[in-house]
Structure 1
Amino acid sequence: MERQKGLKLNKITIAILIIVVFHIVGLIGFFIPALQPLFLKIVPFHLLLMLAVIIYSHEARSFKFLIFFIVVFVLGLLVEWVGVHEHVIFGRYVYGKTLGIKLSDIPLMIGVNWFLLVYSAGVLVQWSPFKNPFIKVVLGAAVLVLLDMVIEPVAVRFDYWAWLSAGSYLTAPLKNYVDWFLVSLAMLVVFELFQFKKQSQVAAVLMLTQFVFFILMRWA
């Protein structure tokens, strides 16, 4: 039993170290102008690494976990497709080159990113003192809106995406944050419906690390 607890702790420690170290490396790369083009190219690989860490750290991996990933991945792509092509969600925007390979103008990595965000927020609120599912999903959605507010200036600057109006690049409209809250709320309801047992702190650390990373990236 003690050995199992030790292995579990070691697994959590390894996952957290990978998250923190690779975000620090990313910050260093973006703060050195000569390295920025290289680090922009590896953004999709960074997201895939974070996905691998989350899968590695998830307790009781099962077919249910795979289904959850697929559901959020597909929903994320569909929401973004509607946003980009129909402009009824988030506002008028287009994706740049930084997130990599696109399908119908939507980077496949955005589906991965939606999963990472929703899962991390869902696990973060598992560690909150609130037990009511409604309060948890509202809190989680609020956290994701705050993160989006931090990300937006960095994302536009580094060609993750751009906001458009009459052909001009603009900052994110208020509609973006309202829709982010509603979409995040719906995705977190899905998380709650899957009823995952309380997870380790790894995903919560990823969420908090992203806050620190993108706040610091404003000065890159």
Structure 2
Amino acid sequence: MKLNKIIICSILMVLFHLVGLYGFLNSDLEVLFIALVPFHLLLMLALLVISTGDYSVNIGIFALVVYLAGFFIEVIGVNSGLIFGTYTYGEALGLKLFSTPLLIGANWLILVYCTGVFLEKFKLKSNFIFSLLGALILLSLDFLIEPIAIRFDYWTWAGGQIPLQNYLGWYIFSFLLFWIFRSLDFQKQNKAAIVLLFAQAGFFLALNIWAF
């Protein structure tokens, strides 16, 4: 039986995260795999585009709005310290504009889209409850991401401490992005997106266990 694109994309997502986990945990390969982070993010985004099967105007609007909102909230945050606290980006996420990696908006897009697709499985009627739960899932992911981001030069915090302000900012901003996700009508069934969500969670959880 011919494998369909959802299965192929899902296999690639899991495979690349397993390979990445091996590379990050191997001291001889760590520098190389950190340099590959931008390419990994772009590959995951490409696999999502392939697997979604929806190339409508609405999903394009969603992607553009979330990317730009994610990028510019980080521009404001990193240059003012007013939203998430005082932090600076390292080199791991690639090319920067206004001291902010251009790919950070893509990271927000991937996280919001995958989490939103996962939550759609529960057929929640309330946009408010949907957005609350979506923001809670993203906040939980941030708890896993933060120590790894610091360890592998994604970003660093002033004083070496992650402020409570960061988690509050993440939650409020995520809530708004999930409201946008729910407000636009586009294809929100994509099993590969759910696979990617759990692959990312497993990747960062494993690094939290074994990388320190």
Interval of TM-score (by shorter of Structure 1 and Structure 2): over 0.9
- Asked if residue 47 in structure 1 is aligned to residue 35 in structure 2, the reply is no
Please say if residues 98 and 159 of structure 1, whose CA atoms lie closer than 8 Å, have aligned partners that are also in contact.
yes
Please say if residues 58 and 186 of structure 2, whose CA atoms lie closer than 8 Å, have aligned partners that are also in contact.
no
Please say if residues 56 and 186 of structure 2, whose CA atoms lie closer than 8 Å, have aligned partners that are also in contact.
no
Name the count of aligned residue pairs: 210
Structure 2 Cα separation of the partners of residues 63 and 113 of structure 1: 21
Instruction: Tell me the TM-score normalized by structure 1.
Output: 0.91
- Asked if residue 152 in structure 1 is aligned to residue 142 in structure 2, the reply is no
> Which residue in 2 is equivalent to 1:187?
177
- Asked if residue 213 in structure 1 is aligned to residue 203 in structure 2, the reply is yes
Task: State the Cα distance separating 1:85 from its structure 2 match.
Answer: 0.9
Task: State the Cα distance separating 1:84 from its structure 2 match.
Answer: 0.7
> Residue 157 of structure 2 aligns to a residue in which SS?
strand
> Residue 128 of structure 1 aligns to a residue in which SS?
coil
> Which residue in 2 is equivalent to 1:59?
53
Q: Deviations over 1:118-165 (max 9, x none)?
A: 11111110112533222111111100000000010000010000001x
> Which residue in 2 is equivalent to 1:125?
119
List runs of 5+ in structure 1 lacking aligned partners. 1-5
Q: Which residues in structure 2 correspond to 1:27-176 (within 5 Å)?
A: 27-164=21-158, 168=159, 170-176=160-166
> Which residue in 2 is equivalent to 1:11?
5
- Divergent runs of 4+, >4 A: none
> Residue 103 of structure 2 aligns to a residue in which SS?
helix
Please say if residues 52 and 187 of structure 2, whose CA atoms lie closer than 8 Å, have aligned partners that are also in contact.
no
Supply the AA of the counterpart residue of 1:137. Answer: S
Supply the AA of the counterpart residue of 2:94. Answer: G
* Matched-pair identity in %: 45
Q: Deviations over 1:49-86 (max 9, x none)?
A: 00001100113212222221111111111100111111
Instruction: Tell me the TM-score normalized by structure 2.
Output: 0.95
> Residue 33 of structure 1 aligns to a residue in which SS?
coil
Supply the AA of the counterpart residue of 1:202. Answer: A
Supply the AA of the counterpart residue of 1:106. Answer: T
Supply the AA of the counterpart residue of 2:107. Answer: N
List runs of 5+ in structure 2 lacking aligned partners. none
